[in-house]
Structure 1
């Protein structure tokens, strides 16, 4: 039966991937700000409503916001007795462990696009603040996040993004992990 849930899921995933690959290709050749959603949808062979069924915005094609449960799990996996800054740093570095070459290449392509667009760099700051709030809420155990935790989480998320941008802007001289560790080290020394 071609209308099974498994078939629909595979079809949805294939369309999602086609939109992503088409978008990255267009963004790399024409620039993020020069490609409209209409142009992107046409090039991917989908309608504009189908594009929006897969991605809430053009920015979300290249920028990924983690789910609160994912953030909470990363923080919870760290020893609770450690300072929040150390827990965030360890969680960020550990989240990169074991990602394959294909995923790393996609991550690099996405961050090169982000690095090349001032509007996406600005939007990355918004994503940092949203994620920092998720981190502070994960530490609050259902209560209200402490302002100090929000400050620490915001600083470390900004440093993480700086590491990603440095890696994207670089010439391959440094690994992703080296760029992120350098950004975290700079924050720790500040």
Structure 2
């Protein structure tokens, strides 16, 4: 057990070193001109080691999501609420569970997403990955006509959430994420 903990700590430290090196280079040179080789060199690892931790450079900024963690926050929402409200509340629960250091990392990540078109495409990919998990957590069956309509609602809600995070980045983190999520959902409901 102790050896496994040591290995996990080493993996976490390497991932953090790669991430920190990448963001330092992005700040110094700009996202577009930094290569995977640059990141690996700055972190003191090989390029294959980089790829053991991240699929692409975009994944350093927007890494794979913990889909189980996402599922848990939405599966716990009261089923008597309408679908949009269940999703809004699930998003609030996720934001409330973020540790402070994660919030700082999140802001620097979303500021890059706001500035770099390729990263906005990566954000859309994450929305698509999340939509399937949300559909499952919320008991949506795509095979039914009601499930198909609910899937459209899930996608619209995730787009509203992405918009809230982009707006948060545009304010430099000054506005609260929950308030921006609420604004986005008010706009969504007004359609």
TM-score, normalised to structure 2's length? 0.89
2:48 matched residue in structure 1: 49
Query: 1:137, 1:143 within 8 Å by CA — same for their partners in 2?
Result: no
C-alpha separation between the residues in 1 aligned to 2:172 and 2:48?
A: 38
The aligned counterpart of 1:5 is 4
What is the aligned length? 188
Whole-angstrom CA distance in 2 between matches of 1:14 and 1:67? 18
Measured on the aligned residues, the alpha-carbon RMSD in Å equals: 2.0
Report the 3-state secondary structure (helix = DSSP H, G, I; strand = E; otherwise coil) of the residue aligned with 2:65.
Answer: coil
Q: Provide the C-alpha distance between the structure 2 equivalents of 1:171 and 1:67, rounded to a whole number of angstroms.
A: 25
The aligned runs of 1:97-112 (5 Å cut-off) are 97-112=96-111
Gaps of 5+ in 2: none
The whole-number CA distance in structure 1 between the counterparts of 2:65 and 2:172 is 27
Closer, same or farther in 2 for the Cα pair 1:82/1:64, shift >3 Å? farther
Aligned to 1:185: 186
**Contact 1:63–1:110 at 8 Å: present in 2 too?**
yes
What does residue range 93-172 of structure 1 map to in structure 2 within 5 Å?
93-140=92-139, 144=143, 146-172=147-173
Tell me, yes or no, if structure 1 residue 32 matches structure 2 residue 24. no
Mapped to 2, the partners of 1:53 and 1:144 lie a distance apart of 37
